[in-house]
């Protein structure tokens, strides 16, 4: 039977609520949604959607690395945007980050995100058993 394990790192923002940065059970790693928070300042990075999206991926990479994983192991993401007009800008960064190792994805527009963020991305990765 698999054992549930919580993954944490100080290289990504700490949870702002009653949840974990990530949870591993067997080969599955479930990453909580990341917004563009700088883990040192605990504030959204300045510079708009592009800067936030770049920081989101830095946070995701940090959590993956804390679990011994990489972006290549991400199988599914969900992207939350507060404005679909930002889709192309987010998508350009997303494509650069994942290259040819593109996971399945859903993208939805939401009314608001925590701390006034413009973008949030969650991920599911498959690790070695």
Do strands 74-81 and 22-25 pair parallel, antiparallel, or not at all (unpaired)?
unpaired
Confidence of residue 121 (pLDDT cuts 50, 70, 90): very high
Give the predicted TM-score (pTM) of the model: 0.96
Residue ranges and CATH numbers for the domains of the chain are 4-126 (3.30.1330.40)
- Which among 54, 9, 4, 63 is positioned nearest to 32, based on CA atoms? 63
- Give the list of residues 6+ apart from residue 129 with CB closer than 8 angstroms, or none: 26, 27
Beta carbons within 10 angstroms of residue 91's beta carbon: 14
pLDDT at 15 (0 to 100): 87
pLDDT over threshold 60, residue 1: no
* pLDDT, tens digit, 9 for 90 and up, residues 3-49: 999 999 999 999 878 999 999 999 999 999 999 999 999 999 999 99
């Amino acid at each position: 039977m698999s054992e549930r394990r919580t993954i944490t790192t100080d290289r990504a923002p700490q949870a702002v609520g009653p949840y974990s940065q990530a949870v591993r059970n067997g080969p599955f790693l479930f990453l909580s949604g990341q917004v563009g928070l700088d883990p040192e300042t605990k504030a959204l990075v300045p510079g708009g959607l592009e800067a936030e999206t770049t920081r989101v991926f830095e946070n995701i990479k940090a959590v993956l690395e804390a679990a011994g994983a990489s972006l290549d192991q991400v199988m599914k993401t969900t992207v939350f945007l507060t404005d679909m007009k930002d889709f192309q800008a987010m998508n350009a960064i997303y494509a650069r980050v994942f290259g040819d190792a593109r996971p399945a994805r859903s993208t939805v527009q939401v009314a608001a995100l925590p701390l006034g963020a413009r973008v949030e991305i969650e991920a599911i990765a498959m690790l070695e058993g």
